[in-house]
Copies of this chain bind each other. A is one copy, B any other.
Amino acid sequence: MAEARTAGRLGIIAGGGQMPRLVADAAVAGGRAVVILAMSGFFDGNAGPHPLVLMSPGQVSALFGALRRYNCREVLMVGEMRRPRLRDLQVDFGIIRQLPLLFGVKGQGDDGAMQRLTQVFESQGFQVVSLRDVAASLAAPLGLIGRKCPSEKAALSISFAFDLLAALSPFDVGQAVIIHRRRVLALEGAEGTNQMIARIGDLRRNGRFAVAPPSGILVKMPKISQELRNDMPVIGELTLEAARDAGLEGIAVAAGGVAMSDCGALSRCADEAGLFLVGCDRDGRWAPA
């Protein structure tokens, strides 16, 4: 712990969901000291034993002040955070100073926005680190995660889906897709993965997807251009519940590129739901050829 203090704390800028707490736990287990800077209106978890500072997303000067007060050199953004409306922000002077850098955020893909935010932190002397740097144990492993194994047909679909998501990468969109065989049922835009999964139920009800469940595979990978430092895609128990409710066959994620809220719990959850859950390489393979 003495070493950790010398190296400075990790400032975890925390949005919604359970990831911020899990990342804090993993970082501490890895020998770091942390502080959770919880964004009001987004953070909805509990900080457990970790020090917590509640902040407004618009109070940039206060954020930098808190980071310095806690002797943070590294920062990590994690958890769900929507783009706030400007009129909802309680701004301080710090944000005005950052406007030239932040100005480009509006109307760009998530990737562009994240790069700008990274520049803002770096211009203030903070290093933006990745989930993999501080909590590698949360990244999906390569191979079967649950007990159920994808069929040979599913393997072909998964490979097709990885190619599709790679083709979308330059356009800064598309972390997830749902396919059956080579038919694309749903593509993720700005709605979020769970909302996209819910559409499969609609497609079944209105007859546009008439194959009996379980059918349809969710494939999720980070954009190739994506700065994994800031915005690693995540799956959690809600994802698995949504997939089960939509009658899907299973889930394939990019090993090392998608974070899992709790690997052991998700594995059990997949088994109970009858879903396969597998971490794949960029070609969609989960086992040596």
A residues whose Cβ falls under 8 Å from a Cβ of B:
82-85, 106-110, 112, 160, 163-164, 167-168, 170-174, 177-178, 180-192, 195, 199, 202-203, 206-211
Q: Check B171–A167 contact: CB distance below 8 A.
A: yes
Question: Could you show 11 A-B contacts with beta carbons less than 8 Å apart?
Answer: A82-B207, A106-B211, A107-B180, A108-B182, A108-B183, A164-B171, A164-B173, A173-B184, A186-B189, A190-B209, A191-B202
A173 to chain B: which residues have CB within 8 Å? Answer: 164, 183-184, 187
Q: How far is the CA of A167 from the CA of B174 in the complex (A)?
A: 12
Q: Check A85–B207 contact: CB distance below 8 A.
A: yes
Task: Give the residue among A160, A190, A192, A207 with the most B Cβ atoms within 10 A.
Answer: A190
**Residue of chain B at shortest CB distance from A181:** B107
Q: A167-B171, A185-B189 are in contact. List 5 more A-B contacts (CB 8 A).
A: A85-B207, A107-B182, A108-B181, A167-B170, A168-B168
A82 to chain B: which residues have CB within 8 Å? Answer: 206-208, 210
A172 to chain B: which residues have CB within 8 Å? Answer: 182-184
Q: How far is the CA of A109 from the CA of B172 in the complex (A)?
A: 24
Cβ distance A154 to chain B, nearest Cβ, rounded Å: 11
Q: How far is the CA of A186 from the CA of B110 in the complex (A)?
A: 14
Cβ distance A119 to chain B, nearest Cβ, rounded Å: 18
**Residue of chain B at shortest CB distance from A203:** B190
Q: Check A160–B167 contact: CB distance below 8 A.
A: no
A186 to chain B: which residues have CB within 8 Å? Answer: 189-191
A84 to chain B: which residues have CB within 8 Å? Answer: 207, 210
**Residue of chain B at shortest CB distance from A199:** B191
Q: Given contacts A167-B167, A168-B167, A171-B164, is CB(A109)–CB(B182) below 8 Å?
A: yes
A167 to chain B: which residues have CB within 8 Å? Answer: 167-168, 170-171
Q: Choose among B108, B160, B170, B189 the residue that contacts A187 (Cβ–Cβ < 8 A).
A: B189
**Residue of chain B at shortest CB distance from A184:** B173
Cβ distance A248 to chain B, nearest Cβ, rounded Å: 14
A188 to chain B: which residues have CB within 8 Å? Answer: 187
Q: Check B171–A211 contact: CB distance below 8 A.
A: no
A183 to chain B: which residues have CB within 8 Å? Answer: 107-110, 172-173, 190
**Residue of chain B at shortest CB distance from A169:** B167
A174 to chain B: which residues have CB within 8 Å? Answer: 184, 187
Q: How far is the CA of A181 from the CA of B189 in the complex (A)?
A: 14
**Residue of chain B at shortest CB distance from A157:** B107
Q: Check B210–A83 contact: CB distance below 8 A.
A: yes
